[in-house]
Amino acid sequence: MYTGFKHLHSFLPYLLMAALVITIIIFAIKMSKGSAYTAADKRLSLITLILAHLQFVFGLVLYFISPVSKAALTAETTMSDATNRLYAVEHPLTMLVAIVLITIGYSKAKRKEMSSAKFKTVAIFFAIALILALVRIPWNVWPA
Ligand code: HEM
């Protein structure tokens, strides 16, 4: 079970990062061109949102079954050791904030009337989330 979730949690970031980058670039271009926000745009941001939520669920499961997080949480050096702190606190919390921002961006955009405001809201929230995720990915083990 652990291996399965680890593989899912390790593979999905490729799709999530790609979806975030694609959504941000397309929405920034469409905003600058004054394009209309179509059903396809809504679908793209929804797919990104779903990928983010899936990643969160896999990460949450891993947090309780992974020997890496168990070791980080039970070590006497949880906060003083950089690797333990990353897995026990920094990675999960930062990613949680990133996923909350993606969710807020998607929901706020739905309530906006103008297309340009929808594009702008999603692009900004998704971009901040992407930066946060990039900052706290365990780069020493990923990509493998
Ligand atoms: C946008 C959200 C997230 C991204 C992009 C992400 C990305 C990653 C990556 C790339 C790894 C390294 C995987 C590998 O070793 O190949 C990892 C490991 C891990 N993540 Fe996340 N993560 C996210 C959210 C979360 C959340 C919300 C939690 C916990 C609540 C979490 C818990 C963990 C744990 C425990 C590991 C270590 C797994 C192990 O090696 O046993 N992640 N994450």
Cα distance between residue 112 and residue 41, in whole Å:
14
Cβ–Cβ contacts within 10 Å for residue 32, how many?
A: 10
The phi-psi region of residue 100 (left if phi > 0; otherwise alpha if psi is between -120 and 50; otherwise beta) is alpha
Q: What is the pLDDT of residue 5?
A: 97
Q: What is the pLDDT of residue 144?
A: 74
Q: What is the pLDDT of residue 88?
A: 96
Sorted by sequence, the CB contacts under 8 Å of residue 120 that are 6+ apart come out as: 27, 31
What secondary structure letter does DSSP report for 62? H
Testing ligand 1's pocket by substitution, the residue of 73, 94, 95 carrying the most ligand atoms inside 8 A of its CB is: 95
| CB-ligand 1 contact for 87 (6 Å cutoff) | yes
Q: What is the pLDDT of residue 53?
A: 98
Read off the pLDDT of residues 25-62 as tens digits, 9 standing for 90 and up: 999 999 999 999 999 999 999 999 999 999 999 999 99
* CA dihedral angle for residue 72, residue 74, residue 78, residue 84, rounded to 10 degrees: -10
- Domain map of the chain by residue range? 2-135
DSSP letter for each residue of 94-123 = HHHHHHHHHHHHHHHHHH-SSHHHHHHHHH
| CB-ligand 1 contact for 55 (6 Å cutoff) | yes
